[in-house]
Structure 1
Amino acid sequence: MQVSFKANDSLSEQIAQHLGRQIIRGEMLPGDRIQELRIAAELEVSRGSVREALLILQRRHLIDILPRRGAVVKDLSEAHVRSLYEIMQVLLGLVIRKAIKVMKEDDLDPFIELIHQLQEQVEERETDQFFDSSFRFFELAYPFARNDFVQDILDNLQPAIQRAFYMALHIDQDEMKECLAFFKAIIETIFRRDVRSALEIIREFAEHQSSLVQESIVRARQIEAAWGNRRKK
């Protein structure tokens, strides 16, 4: 599929989002090389714009730029996933704690509307649509932190979180129900102004999904090793 870009906003940002979506959705795998020349030719953009896009993806923890190898899709190790969910738990806890203090009842309306949308997507098993809507929930919540530094960190971490979250949704069909229950519970704690329960719910969900993704990574490595041993025989 040929994709062309217009420099209406930031061309490098558009390229980064295009490549980021491929990494998040598993169309580009850990260790895959990202060749500047090929990408520039496919998208009909300059190598300079591609190079800037790769720096954005590096900042967003989706690729590594290595000496003599160039840009490669970042590996998803258990340690990487565990660290990612640990920091996300802390940051999201900060956001929700601040939201509980400053949100008015009317501020909950977009969240409640989104919950209804997520419910319908679970019932229809619309996994990709549910994935997109889930991060709309987070985007609605982030500004309530009223902290530009937190917002900046979350914006840069979000693609890496999306990558793990996308995996989780495709590992277990019931994970959509788990996520929906999480979103509902968070809204209830905000409505009740219950900070302690909110932080506990975030901790439990982060640990649950982190474990789910880590176990999937271990199984995939074991299968790969088994196939490797068979080929040697």
Structure 2
Amino acid sequence: MGIERVDSLSEQIAKQIGEQIITGDLVEGEHIQELRIAKELDVSRGSVREALLILERTHLIHIYPRRGAIVSEMSAQQVKALFDTNMLLMSYMVQRMSEMWRKHEADEMLHLLEKLAEQVKVSDAEKFYDLFFGFLAEQHDLVGNMYVMRHYAELLPSMRRSYFLTLNLSRRELQEAYELIKFSIDAILHRKSQQATLFIEDFCRHLRNQVLESLARMKQIELAWARRSRR
């Protein structure tokens, strides 16, 4: 049995701030005030600074000289770049999984499909995507490439931020995502790495398009409110 890792104080602070960015409580362009956070959490500014460096590695914020930490922009161009990069990583991961899985890992994949199907039934998109992306993040042994896994882990918070925009979409769209994941896992279990890769790429494009549609609607609403406020 492995030893469970305990997050450091800075990692805990980073997770708390990161969750506020992911859920939209902190919006793009907003300045993150070190002193206010330190007072609210009763921690040192040094711990907050370390937390911000962690968040910068996950691309949720940018740290500028003399300006401090700013919540990163979420534009259509950045969403496309994020999904393009993640697609490359996930394609490599499922290819390796197709080649390397053993029986207990096959059982875990089938169990994952059961849990995903449950989330489709209750239309819980957040848990659905958290389960799937979190499962892939745990496949260090199968993938066998620490650089790929590290980059994937660093992109996950930004991925969560993007698919958080899709939580109000229909069950049909969630069902389509499930079917593409199922096809990919079926191909993995038949050791058909090329098919698994093609299906996971289709899944990434499907989710990317949903995120872009939701982002466009959100930007339209923000623009409408800005115009009304200027009247």
**Do both share a fold (TM > 0.5)?**
yes
Stretches (4+) displaced over 6 A = none
Instruction: Determine the structure 2 residue equivalent to 1:134.
Output: 132
Aligned letter for 2:71?
Answer: V
The correspondence for 1:75, drawn from 49, 73, 76, is 73
CA distance in 2, matches of 1:143, 1:166: 29
CA distance in 1, matches of 2:155, 2:126: 20
Change (3 A) 1:59 1:78: same
Deviations 1:42-84 (A, max 9, x none): 1111100000000110011011112333112111001110000
Asked if structure 1 preserves the Cα contact closer than 8 Å seen for 2:181 and 2:200, the reply is no
The correspondence for 2:59, drawn from 50, 61, 66, is 61
- Aligned-pair identity in percent equals 38
CA distance in 2, matches of 1:190, 1:142: 16
CA distance in 1, matches of 2:158, 2:66: 24
Q: Secondary structure at the match of 2:25?
A: coil
TM-score w.r.t. the length of structure 1 is 0.88
CA distance in 2, matches of 1:169, 1:219: 13
Instruction: Determine the structure 2 residue equivalent to 1:213.
Output: 211
CA distance in 2, matches of 1:232, 1:46: 41
CA distance in 2, matches of 1:224, 1:26: 13
Deviating more after overlay: 86-95 vs 9-18: 9-18
CA distance in 2, matches of 1:120, 1:197: 25
| Alignment coverage as a number of residue pairs | 226
Aligned letter for 1:200?
Answer: L
Instruction: Determine the structure 2 residue equivalent to 1:102.
Output: 100
User: How much is the aligned-residue C-alpha RMSD, in angstroms?
Assistant: 1.9
Mapping of 1:215-230 within 5 angstroms? 215-230=213-228
Aligned letter for 2:157?
Answer: P
CA distance in 2, matches of 1:152, 1:205: 21
CA distance in 1, matches of 2:229, 2:55: 35
